[in-house]
Structure 1
Amino acid sequence: MAIYQSEIEEELGIKADEWIALGAIDLDTSIVHCPVHLFLAKQLTFTSTHQEGTETIKTLKTS
């Protein structure tokens, strides 16, 4: 889970104090095995991002 936490902090600038694993699903089983892991992140803190120059990721906050 640590790799997902560090990627979310780096790419989106979001840190969470609590992580709950919701399981994994495979969205495209007919072509490749590519599971997607789902998490619920709680108690969020928003910081600055550290994206690479080629990345254009935008964060959308909802309530």
Structure 2
Amino acid sequence: MYSCEEHIDEALDDWVYGVETFPELELVDNSENLWITCGYCENKAIYMVGNECSDTKYRN
């Protein structure tokens, strides 16, 4: 799950509610100037919310 600065609290709440465990929070690697959008709006994502078992952990 990707999130911008504005929606990180909602992303964390949704993750905990859905998975019932606290997620890992990582910064999105913007070194390649990729535009990954927030899951709640069209802003650029800053954070990736997931855990070891999440498929987002293994995306490039």
Answer whether TM exceeds 0.5 for this pair: no
TM-score, normalized by length of structure 1?
Answer: 0.33
TM-score scaled by structure 2?
0.34
- Higher share in strand: 1
Based on CA coordinates, which of the two structures has the bigger radius of gyration?
1
Higher percent of residues as helix: 2
